Chain A
Amino acid sequence: MNEENAYQQEFQVKGGDFTRAGEVSCEIKNLLKELGLSAPIVRRAAIAAYEAEMNIIMYAWQGRLDLSVTPDRVRIVVEDKGPGIQDVELALSEGYSTATPEMRELGFGAGMGLPNIKKNTDDFRIVSEVGRGTRLEMTFLGNGHKP
Chain B
Amino acid sequence: MNLADLVERLDLKVYAGGAELARPVSGGYVSDLLSDVIAHSRKDQLWITLQIHPNVIAVAALKELAAIVFVNGREPAAETAARADKERIPLCGTPLSAYEFVGRAYGLGLAEK
Contact = CB atoms under 8 A, between A and B. Distances in A.
Given A110-B33, A112-B33, A22 B59 contact: yes
Nearest to A28: B62
A107 interface: yes
Q: For chain B, give the interface size range.
A: 10 to 19
A129 interface: no
Contacts of B56: 107
Nearest to B51: A107
Given A47-B39, A116-B39, A108 B34 contact: yes
A50 B54 contact: no
A50 B53 contact: no
A103 to B, nearest CB: 10
A50 B32 contact: no
Contacts of B57: 22
A23 interface: yes
B21 to A, nearest CB: 22
Contacts of A51: 35, 38
A116 B35 contact: yes
A94 B49 CA distance: 22
A54 B37 CA distance: 14
B11 interface: no
B62 A50 contact: yes
B39 A112 contact: yes
For B33, B35, B57, B59, the residue with the greatest tally of chain A CB atoms inside 10 Å of its CB is: B35
Interface string A9-28: 00000000011011101100
A6 B62 CA distance: 24
Interface of B: 32-36, 38-39, 49, 51, 53-59, 61-62
13 contacts: A21-B58, A22-B59, A25-B58, A26-B58, A26-B62, A46-B62, A50-B58, A50-B62, A107-B51, A108-B34, A110-B33, A110-B34, A112-B33
Given A23-B58, A116-B38, 11 more contacts: A22-B57, A22-B62, A25-B62, A26-B58, A46-B62, A50-B38, A51-B35, A54-B34, A106-B53, A110-B34, A112-B36
